[in-house]
Amino acid sequence: MKKTILSIITILAFNFLILTSCGEEKKELTSQNAKPATTNMTSTDKPQEEEKIEPASVVCKIYFKSDDIEEEDGTISKGEVGEREDFRIKKAYTFCYDSEDFQKLKIEGTGKQITIEIKEGNKTIYKKENIEIKDALTLSSKEVNFQMAYKYTISIRQNETSLFEGKIDSQGCM
């Protein structure tokens, strides 16, 4: 019985030695072939960080052209294109669809990852995302037009931050 126990212990010890020595060879082979993750990095290298977006600074202006006016004596006064300051200051403007026409929307300032959205009621009629504004961006009446009897909302955002939200209403004034 002592011989059997001694034989089992010897066999187990022998198997243990074989298993551990094979593992060491494998470990040596892998460590010789593998390169550490920092091998190609120098002390001045840093992992790339996401680009930080500077907060945008924008001003939104709207321009309309007043209709030409015929005077009683038959002379015609040419209508002028001008900014409607109420829109920039109060973020609201009511235009007279029977005496003025939309000319342009001008967004001045700077910013990255800007979204511009214009809605007619609940329907989006213009949307441009992930744009960069340098100095100014102008939308003309060819890109968007404001018509009679509608209410419009103009939203300018940088990612999820609202930069401007203005309302435009149209009414007959004559």
pLDDT of residue 162: 95
The pLDDT value recorded for residue 75 is 85
Read off the tokens for 82. Answer: 């001008």
Using CA atoms, how far residue 137 sits from 33, 62, 90, 112, 159, in Å, is: 56, 12, 21, 12, 18
Tell me what pLDDT residue 154 has: 97
What are the CA-CA distances from residue 54 to residues 102, 108, 131 (Å)?
Answer: 32, 16, 14
CA 158 to CA 53: how far, in whole Å? 9
Which residue type sits at 72?
E
pTM, 2 dp: 0.66
The rounded average pLDDT for each run of 10 residues, N- to C-terminus, in the chain (174 residues) is 57 53 49 48 52 86 90 86 95 91 95 95 94 94 88 94 95 81
Q: Would you state the pLDDT for residue 69?
A: 84
- C-beta of residue 137 within 8 angstroms of C-beta of residue 127: no
